[in-house]
Amino acid sequence: MHEQDGFFRSGGACAELGGTGFPTSQFTNDTSGYSKGSLTGSAVTVSGSSTKIYKGYYYDVKGRVTKVVQNNLLGGYDVTNTVYTFTGQPATVTHSHTASGKSTRTEVYTYSYDHADRVSKVEHTLGGTKITLADYTYDSFGRLSTKSLHGSAANKLTYAYNLRSWLTGITSTRFTQNLYYNTGVGTARYNGSISSMTWKSGNESTVRGYKFTYDGLDRMLNATYGETAGISTNANRFSENVTGYDKNGNIKGLQRYGQLSSAAYGMIDNLTLTLNGNQLNRVDDAVTASAYNGGFEFKNGANAADEYSYDANGNLTKDLNKGISGITYNFLNLPNVVTFSDGSTITYTYGADGTKLRTVHKIGSTTTTTDYCGNVVYENGVQKLLLTEEGYVTLSDSKYHYYLKDHQGNNRVVISQSGTVEETNHYYPFGGAFASTSNVQPYKYNGKELDSKKGLNWYDYGARHYDAALGRFTTNDRFAEKYYSMSPYQYGANNPVNNIDVNGDTIVVNPNPNGLIDNVRMFFGFDTKYQKDVKADLQQLKKDDKEIGEMIIELEKSKNVHSITRTK
């Protein structure tokens, strides 16, 4: 239910709040008139119950949201207040979280901007202590040049680009990545696809890498692993190859290499996927060897004619290889309960808007309940994590932890506020972690939460879940008509090297997870003063860089017509 123009707060819905424990002192009637024509309130039903999440919105004279109030499942509320700069950018964002019988958590984000109104510093205050979360600098083309975490030069990442503004490198003391397109040791690509990449993570001295090949539709065929800058030493230790696609882009065969013992490496998966249309019917693994020490691989847990089943909406309801005997779904095609053959269950609670609110794992005699209250994460009723823009805070000791991300936003390294390496992850192209040290937090590939309990190994993308062992989603794409030429279960147009699927419903090509600006429309915005802004920024470029300034002056003097157009 959504209401406008303040009716939500002045009518019956406000009275209904009286018995909910909602902070009516915060949820007050707005008499300013600034909300006219805008959303002022909503009531979202929680799946499987009559409980509702109520939310109220407040506005300033310019129609900007200045305050949002909502209740949560733990008998408390979350209040977010925003103060804006003269140019309409957030100056401070204050978030207060309460829950029945729990500590109140109040955090403040403070933003600083440079001359082009780009974020230059983000400060974070928790419990009265302010720290610098990140400092940003940009080059003359508006691209992110450096990012320093926790106010420390030791935690500095430097970004490099080629003439086309394609990212070519990320350099820091704890994570380094090099991307090659038409150069490097791989087969040259001239369409923006990555032909090879190398990286070095954490405290390791080993340089690892992949060389990639693609088919005529730019779908990945082979990711050949190697070490050293030439990607030649210890070849194929962690390679991943697609041996075939059907006409809809469903993977028909997948080979994966990994560690077999403390000193041996070889093929751990040689999969043949049998399909019924776009839906999976069974998977056969021609390799009996298992990954060392419980490492990532496809678990061949069944040998039946029909190992997978789907409902009428195309949602996976059975996966015998994982020991899943049944999956039920809500009206949004999000899973309610995953039931395993031994009686273990995973139960999800969502709001009617698709927001995940709670997960309950009942594995044998052990029950683990995880609550998500905005960016505050509880485990068994204890406040565990506070998620931030650059990582998270462990609430048991109020210590900051930071993600070092690669070109796709995959969390490669977790460091402490002092720069100590706490976790390192190495990924196959389709998202499985072939090596991981000290598993301290659940957010991994694409920054998505990995649910590994009971061998589920699903990434939660929001709109649906992803199985990296098979390189496909478990349910239909709700926006399948956007990609009508592809299977509604494919991931990233089958090009996981260059693409990501943001929420499980939108493919993004060459993503820029660190806010890198690679397109004129993003840099100059969408306001009506576009031409004026272009002019002003060209003048600024002249001042910032002598060589670029000379180029601009030469173009201005030219008799040729040079058009700068706005893409709609």
Name the percent of the chain lying above pLDDT 70. Answer: 87
Closest CA to 124 of 517, 516, 391, 385: 391
Closest CA to 1 of 57, 41, 49: 41
Domain boundaries, the chain: 1-62, 72-509, 530-557
- Please give the CATH superfamily to which domain 72-509 belongs: RHS repeat-associated core (2.180.10.10)
pLDDT tens digit sequence for 150-207: 999 999 999 999 999 999 999 999 999 999 999 999 999 999 999 999 999 999 999 9
pLDDT tens digit sequence for 375-399: 999 999 999 999 999 999 999 999 9
368-374-378 Cα angle (round to 5): 25
The pLDDT, as a whole number, for residue 12 is 42
CA 112 to each of CA 93, 362, 373, 459: distance values in angstroms, whole numbers, following the listed order? 12, 45, 27, 34
Dihedral over alpha carbons 302, 306, 307, 310 (to 10 degrees): -170
pLDDT tens digit sequence for 305-332: 999 999 999 999 999 999 999 999 999 9
Q: What is the mean pLDDT of residues 476-495?
A: 95
* The residue to which tokens 């949820």 are assigned: 27
What whole-number distance in Å separates Cα of residue 93 and Cα of residue 119?
Answer: 14
What whole-number distance in Å separates Cα of residue 426 and Cα of residue 27?
Answer: 46
What whole-number distance in Å separates Cα of residue 463 and Cα of residue 74?
Answer: 24
Dihedral over alpha carbons 8, 10, 15, 17 (to 10 degrees): 50
3-state secondary structure of 549: helix
H or E element: which one contains 530? helix 530-544
Residue 509 binned pLDDT confidence (cut-offs 50, 70, 90): confident
What are the tokens at 305? 């004619």
What whole-number distance in Å separates Cα of residue 325 and Cα of residue 193?
Answer: 40
The pLDDT, as a whole number, for residue 437 is 85
Exposed, middle or buried: residue 365 (CB in 10 Å: 0-12, 13-18, 19+)? exposed
Q: Which stretch of 30-39, 66-75, 512-521 has the lowest confidence by average pLDDT?
A: 512-521
Q: What is the mean pLDDT of residues 225-234?
A: 97
Q: Looking at the predicted structure, is the pLDDT value of residue 36 above 90?
A: no
pLDDT tens digit sequence for 534-561: 666 777 777 777 777 777 777 766 655 5
Calculate the average pLDDT of the chain: 89
pTM: 0.87
Q: Looking at the predicted structure, is the pLDDT value of residue 473 above 50?
A: yes
3-state secondary structure of 382: strand
Q: Looking at the predicted structure, is the pLDDT value of residue 263 above 60?
A: yes
What whole-number distance in Å separates Cα of residue 134 and Cα of residue 515?
Answer: 13
Roughly how many angstroms between the first and final C-alpha of the chain, as a whole number? 32
Closest CA to 348 of 363, 339, 358: 358
Q: Looking at the predicted structure, is the pLDDT value of residue 365 above 50?
A: yes
